A and B are shown apart, each in its own frame.
Chain A
Amino acid sequence: MTTTQHHHAPITTPEVGGIGHNVRRIEDDRFIQGAGNYLDDIVLPRMLHMVLVRSPLAHATINSIDTSAAEALDGVVAVVTGEMLAGYNLAWMPTLSGDTQAVLATDKVRFQGQEVAAVIATDPYVARDGAELVMVDYEPLDAIVNPMQGLEPDAPIIRDDLEDKADNVAYEWEAGDAGATAEAFATADRVVTIETHYPRSHPSPLETCGVVADVSPVTGQATIYMTSQAPHAHRTVFALVAGLPEHNIRIISPDVGGGFGNKVPVYPGYVVATAASLVLGAPVKWVETRTENLISTGFARDYYMKGELAVTAEGKILGLRVDMVSDQGAFYADAQPTKTRAGLFHIVTGSYDYPAAHVTTKGVYTNKAPGGVAYRCSFRVTEASFLIERLVQNAAYELGMDPAEFRKRNFIQPDQFPYHSPTGFVYDSGDYETALDMAMDMIGYEKLRAEQARARAEGRLMGIGIASFTEVVGAGPSGEYDILGLKMFDSAELRVHPTGKAILKLGVKTQGQGHETTFAQIVAEELGIPATDVKVVHGDTDNTPYGLGTYASRSTPTAGAATSMVSRKLRSKAREIAAHLLEASPEDLEWEVGAFHVRGSPESSVTIQEVAFAAYTNHPPGMEAGLEGVHYYDPPNMTYPFGSYIVVVDLDSGTGEWKVRRMVAVDDCGVRINPMIVDGQIHGGLAEGFAMSNMQWITFDEAGNCIGSNFMDYLVPTAWETPRFELGETVTPSPHHPIGAKGVGESATVGSPAAYVNAVIDALAHIGVRNIDMPVLPDRVWQAIRDHAE
């Protein structure tokens, strides 16, 4: 049973700025003055510059590499090849999914843009000149550019580097119950089917990836500045890859100019620069160009999905069957929890209650860049949410029902939580109908349907698309979730200084989400120390407790909980100190945010600041001095944010162009710590969802050439195209999170693509159109209209 509540008033004053206050972001002062410190802003004495030589071919044998002309160029210090790295056992590295990836190619290149050599020079322009002079002799091989080709029996084996590898399958994985699902389908009145490709996309944060590696030839200490969403996990990987003692590695992730999953994997450039610094005894900087970023790092999606929904004539869902093939590129290099090889794709059963589901998945190697990062998405939840929300829409059409009504007939009800899904999740809380009703009210759903009927009579096309998504985020409980064996807990360390100011250190790392403010607000809520008196430190492995990093909307569910818990530990100790100061027993004290007083005599009171001072100046005999602690939080369950989005589009039948007239988004992410920041996260996700549905995709020609290698071919929406969003909210707290929060960074990217596409399909449903693959480009719409013309 879960309860959805409306806003309740914050318990802290605006000056303290605890939960529920729109505290203006503490980190903004440096950004608005141009004083952010991003990777490329880092300059060290004697620093050298590295440029990578990349393969122009998607699949080829390397005959030879001639580095002599590059080495002869004035200013070039070294040219590194895979052969040289092999001498240090560094030509290959493990990926975060447990595969291996070439650092610099030794035998073959397996995708266009693959790293082949590195030129290191005293000046970045010279390094680029040098890269032009490296001559590589390739013997071209046939390229496999989609997974279906890769699964053909006579397909060349891409990963012949792997012992005994006889096919191109990267992984196979399933969830759910095949037998029960077959029974459900046998009793169904109708089976609704959809086949769709969720296209390859790229997170493309505006800051590309980069590194400054500084290995001291004197002490062996490696300080590695890196665009990293997961600095601690990366440190451990570096220790494993490079064989450096982990205590001698310090990863510093400075201000990060957007991540969206792109900065989760370890890229070859990081490793080469570190090895080069070790050998050359000087700091080495490597920063990608935009083209390098788009052709070689962190692709997302590229899922070929077939979904079937078994339904009754009355509109009840009986079961779901999904078969999915993912294009992983040449290396399975995204981060996936060890036990779930297709990520959390099995959340595909969505917001609906039915007994049976079966999901089969297969990852396939192709001659494309290593793909499959979760682009603003919790381990493949985006693809899952898209599929089920497209399916339920089509099921409604087949049954002659309104898509909103069909959803309502099948929603998991509030009294069914905790809800055990047929693929093995335990949803913590939800109230789906309330959110959908709010979205329908906000947009005026009934009026729009009436308008649509009139419009159709007039030959005008408009559509209304809904998505009522459920996410699974906050990985995760350590028994089930790990990356390369590293359990997915997270941590917080808090110290209150004598004057009552505090420092909070986190294992997670912001890339714009506002951690320096949000996490300070959690401390403010728990201890009454004003948020602006709390300094948040993150992104420096020497100065923060171990954690798995920021992605998969996991920071608030894990590190947010850890922050709460460590604050409560300090409050317990503060109570003992307060009792000492007030000459009372701890049990007789009452806590009101920011102060203890003796029960029944409110005038006998000490503030948290007075307690902090006493912790260093007048602490009780026998007690340890100081006021600090650390907490490692192992979440008991995942969290399940949800929402309902409704999009209205107007569609030009002559050109196939569609425009968003309105977009209403009702989100429920549990308790909102800083509502202003939450809204900002949702705005961004809605824009990225629009981008994927409307324009953003990366394609390849038959030879494996990447089409979409710059921002003139890979389209990112500007302010002009981006819709204007209207937000609504419900609050259904997570019952197992200390402050009831669920995480919100990705909800809108997960939920919105289906809403946009459903709106376009809805505009054309009456002529029989049931699917157009993303991106829903005007020519595809035009073709669909033509195909369904009477």
Chain B
Amino acid sequence: MEITISVNGTDNTVDVEPRMLLVDVLRTRLGLTGTHIGCDTTSCGVCTVLLDGTPVKSCTLFAVQADGRAVKTVEGLKQNGDLHPIQAAFKEAHGLQCGYCTPAMMLVGSVLIEENPDPSEDDIRWAISGNLCRCTGYINIVKAIRLAAETVAASS
């Protein structure tokens, strides 16, 4: 069936089988490979995208469920060609190692600091508790999200 999804601000019309997962449409039909697949069961969160601004796990969402809605992926994080503060903070605070969970972590972090400009360590840990990382022990991911919040606060 034909569906239209707004992805990173651009409408895309694709013809998909009803069983096709959103993550597969993003990756294979639209070429947006920054969204990853890790567990197939909504457990690890590396497939997280923002659906109408809310983090969802795109490996357990049918693409047809996103028809007429807006999706944001890591490729849409940059603002006017500049890195989003959360992207800069992940590099600055060494918030990534293999990079596989990173796009999802940054998307979740970006929503958190929008909703809560001054998050505590517990706030951050709770916000990312649906996203696994095997490399960092989360220490520097927490630092990176906190740094991004501070950067945004300082610039506004």
**Residues of chain A having any CB pair with chain B under 8 Å:** 24-25, 27-38, 40-41, 43, 124-125, 203-208, 255-258, 260, 289-291, 511-514, 676-677, 679-681, 683-688, 710-712, 716, 718-720, 722, 724-725
Q: Shortest CB–CB separation between residue B150 and chain A, in angstroms?
A: 17
A207/B36 contact (C-beta < 8 A), A683-B136, A684-B97 known: yes
Task: Tell me whether B36 and A206 are in contact (CB under 8 A).
Answer: yes
Q: Which of A29, A34, A291 contacts B33 (CB 8 A)?
A: A34
CA distance A260 to B97 in the complex (A): 12
**Residues of chain B having any CB pair with chain A under 8 Å:** 17, 19-20, 24, 27-28, 32-41, 43-44, 46, 73-75, 77-78, 83, 87-88, 90-92, 94, 96-103, 106, 121, 124-126, 128-142
Q: Which of A204, A289, A686, A720 contacts B126 (CB 8 A)?
A: A720
CA distance A256 to B135 in the complex (A): 12
CA distance A207 to B38 in the complex (A): 6
Q: Which residues of A contact B140 (CB under 8 A)?
A: 680, 683
Q: Which of B73, B90, B97, B141 contacts A719 (CB 8 A)?
A: B141
CA distance A290 to B139 in the complex (A): 25
Q: Which of B24, B125, B138, B140 has the most CB of A within 10 A?
A: B138
Q: Shortest CB–CB separation between residue A210 and chain B, in angstroms?
A: 10
Task: Tell me whether B91 and A710 are in contact (CB under 8 A).
Answer: no
Q: A677-B94, A719-B142 are in contact. List 14 more A-B contacts (CB 8 A).
A: A40-B33, A40-B36, A205-B134, A257-B36, A290-B39, A290-B40, A512-B100, A680-B97, A680-B140, A681-B97, A687-B136, A710-B39, A720-B125, A724-B139
Q: Which residues of A contact B124 (CB under 8 A)?
A: 719
A34/B74 contact (C-beta < 8 A), A680-B140, A719-B138 known: yes
Q: Which of B34, B132, B135 contacts A35 (CB 8 A)?
A: B34
Q: Which of B33, B46, B88, B106 contacts A206 (CB 8 A)?
A: B46
A34/B132 contact (C-beta < 8 A), A680-B140, A720-B125 known: no
Task: Tell me whether A34 and B97 are in contact (CB under 8 A).
Answer: no
Task: Tell me whether B135 and A125 are in contact (CB under 8 A).
Answer: no
Closest 3 CB pairs of A and B: A34-B34, A512-B98, A257-B100
Q: Which residues of B contact A720 (CB under 8 A)?
A: 125-126, 129
CA distance A621 to B20 in the complex (A): 67
CA distance A286 to B100 in the complex (A): 18
Q: Which residues of A contact B128 (CB under 8 A)?
A: 718-719
Task: Tell me whether B125 and A719 are in contact (CB under 8 A).
Answer: yes
Task: Tell me whether A25 and B36 are in contact (CB under 8 A).
Answer: no
A–B complex contacts, Cβ < 8 Å, 13 sampled:
A24-B91, A32-B87, A33-B74, A34-B103, A36-B99, A125-B17, A289-B40, A687-B138, A710-B43, A716-B134, A718-B129, A719-B124, A725-B139
Task: Tell me whether B96 and A31 are in contact (CB under 8 A).
Answer: yes
Q: Which residues of A contact B138 (CB under 8 A)?
A: 683, 687, 718-719, 722
Task: Tell me whether A718 and B132 are in contact (CB under 8 A).
Answer: yes
CA distance A514 to B101 in the complex (A): 16
Task: Tell me whether B106 and A32 are in contact (CB under 8 A).
Answer: yes
Prevailing SS type, chain B contact patch: loop
Q: Which residues of B contact A685 (CB under 8 A)?
A: 137
A710/B133 contact (C-beta < 8 A), A33-B78, A207-B100, A680-B97 known: no
Task: Tell me whether A513 and B87 are in contact (CB under 8 A).
Answer: no
Q: Which of B19, B44, B90, B137 contacts A687 (CB 8 A)?
A: B137
Q: Which of A25, A28, A30, A205 has the most CB of B within 10 A?
A: A28
Q: Shortest CB–CB separation between residue B106 and chain A, in angstroms?
A: 7
Q: Shortest CB–CB separation between residue B111 and chain A, in angstroms?
A: 15
Q: Shortest CB–CB separation between residue B73 and chain A, in angstroms?
A: 7
Q: Which of B91, B126, B130, B137 has the most CB of A within 10 A?
A: B137
Q: Which residues of B contact A679 (CB under 8 A)?
A: 94
Task: Tell me whether B43 and A711 are in contact (CB under 8 A).
Answer: yes
Q: Which residues of B contact A256 (CB under 8 A)?
A: 98
Task: Tell me whether B39 and A38 are in contact (CB under 8 A).
Answer: no
CA distance A31 to B103 in the complex (A): 8
Task: Tell me whether B134 and A688 are in contact (CB under 8 A).
Answer: yes
Q: Which residues of B contact A719 (CB under 8 A)?
A: 124-125, 128-129, 131, 133, 138, 141-142
Task: Tell me whether B38 and A290 are in contact (CB under 8 A).
Answer: yes
Task: Tell me whether A25 and B39 are in contact (CB under 8 A).
Answer: no
Q: Shortest CB–CB separation between residue A624 and chain B, in angstroms?
A: 40
Q: Which residues of A contact B77 (CB under 8 A)?
A: 33-34
Q: Which residues of A contact B98 (CB under 8 A)?
A: 205-207, 255-258, 511-512
Q: Which residue of A lies closest to B96 (CB)?
A: A31
CA distance A681 to B98 in the complex (A): 11
A684/B125 contact (C-beta < 8 A), A31-B99, A206-B101 known: no
Q: Which residues of B contact A28 (CB under 8 A)?
A: 90-91, 96, 99
Q: Which residues of B contact A289 (CB under 8 A)?
A: 40
Q: Which residues of A contact B37 (CB under 8 A)?
A: 40
Q: Which residues of B contact A683 (CB under 8 A)?
A: 136-140
Q: Which residues of A contact B100 (CB under 8 A)?
A: 36, 38, 205-207, 257-258, 512
CA distance A40 to B24 in the complex (A): 11
CA distance A163 to B51 in the complex (A): 59
Q: Which residue of B lies closest to A680 (CB)?
A: B94
Q: Which residues of A contact B46 (CB under 8 A)?
A: 206
Q: Shortest CB–CB separation between residue A178 and chain B, in angstroms?
A: 41
Task: Tell me whether A34 and B32 are in contact (CB under 8 A).
Answer: yes
Q: Which residues of B contact A36 (CB under 8 A)?
A: 34, 99-100
Q: Which residue of B lies closest to A690 (CB)?
A: B137
Q: Which of A676, A722, A725 has the most CB of B within 10 A?
A: A722
Q: Which residues of B contact A38 (CB under 8 A)?
A: 33, 36, 100
